[in-house]
Chain A
Amino acid sequence: MIKTLLVKMVIIFSIAASASIETYQFDSPQQEARFRQLGFELRCPKCQNQAIGDSDAEISGDLRAVVYRMIKEGATDGEIKEFMVARYGRFVLYNPPLDQQTIVLWLGPVAILILGGVLVLLRIRRSTRALDQRDS
């Protein structure tokens, strides 16, 4: 029972994963892995919340073709991302680098977490002190 369910799930998900079928030939599995990884990390400029790897938008197909060509030509991941950012801006990066513009984005959650922790600690210390006073 569980086995057939698992098999069905695998089939369903593999259909979804192959939504955009293109035949790209790579020289090595590493190249193909890089192509897939970049497909996840580069955001489709037309469709707000999709990566170019799983978008059927025309522009995503074009950008995948560019990524493919650049990988074939021996460009590094950094060079490919730079190429995209030069044309489509920071928007295309799902994983933006840490710098002045993105520091709030990256460190904001940590700062809020620390602030919350400090508040909780203060609260605990105050209430234990109140308890101590009452007990003594």
Chain B
Amino acid sequence: MSRWAVWAPLAIFSILVGFFFKGLTLDPGAQPSALIGKPVPPFQLTDLHTGKVLTRQTLPARPFLLNVWASWCITCQVEHPYLTELSDRLPIVGLNYKDSETAAKNWLAKLGDPYATQIFDPSGRLGLDLGVAGAPETFLVDSSGVIQLRIQGEVNDRVYQRQIRPLLETLK
């Protein structure tokens, strides 16, 4: 047995520990969006409240959040108060995903409506084009309609401070 071979098991062990340690801090559920750096896909849907046709062109011309939600989604209720708070700082466009019109309207009437616009997508077509896997999901879109960030799950103050705000500041 040569001298260095004695250290091989320790070396292999250390490498494995390194991988496992890294693995502890990774979230296997968090996937990078395939749409980062790409424009919001084209769509033609109606406004939940007015029934008017909404397209990519009717989106805000400044940075905004696109929040995918549904009345059947529990986490959406959890993040709702925080979104209401955020709506003072930047516009939030709602994407009502695979929901029924009445249920969605009742939900907003009960919990309050922080949304600048509400895109009604009962079939989930735009959700699919956005690569949405489930609600809630939130996208940060810049003033030219390009997706900058995707957040799967709840938006709260920690997510805002760590992910949204730093990016938002570079966009302004």
Contact = CB atoms under 8 A, between A and B. Distances in A.
Contacts of A45: 31, 131, 133
User: Taking chain A's interface residues, is the majority helix, strand, or loop, or is none over half, making it mixed?
Assistant: helix
Interface of B: 28-29, 31-35, 98, 124, 128-134
A89 B34 contact: yes
B77 to A, nearest CB: 18
Nearest to A59: B133
A87 B35 contact: yes
Contacts of A58: 98, 134
A59 B134 contact: yes
Interface string A62-83: 1100100000000000000000
A62 B129 CA distance: 12
Contacts of A46: 133-134
Interface of A: 45-46, 48, 57-59, 62-63, 66, 85-91
A107 to B, nearest CB: 19
A80 to B, nearest CB: 13
Nearest to B132: A59
28 contacts: A45-B31, A45-B131, A46-B133, A48-B28, A48-B29, A58-B98, A58-B134, A59-B133, A59-B134, A62-B124, A62-B128, A66-B128, A85-B34, A86-B34, A87-B35, A87-B128, A87-B131, A88-B31, A88-B34, A88-B131, A88-B133, A89-B31, A89-B32, A89-B33, A89-B34, A89-B131, A90-B34, A91-B31
Most chain B Cβ neighbours within 10 Å, of A57, A59, A62, A87: A87
Contacts of B98: 58
A102 to B, nearest CB: 15
Contacts of B29: 48
Given A48-B29, A89-B32, 14 more contacts: A45-B31, A45-B133, A48-B28, A58-B98, A58-B134, A59-B134, A85-B34, A87-B34, A87-B35, A87-B128, A88-B34, A88-B133, A89-B33, A89-B34
A84 B31 CA distance: 14
Contacts of A59: 132-134
Contacts of B132: 59
A30 B130 CA distance: 30
Contacts of A88: 31, 34, 131, 133
Nearest to B41: A87
Among B32, B128, B129, B130: residue with most chain A CB under 10 A: B128
A60 B89 CA distance: 36
Nearest to B123: A62
A90 B31 CA distance: 10
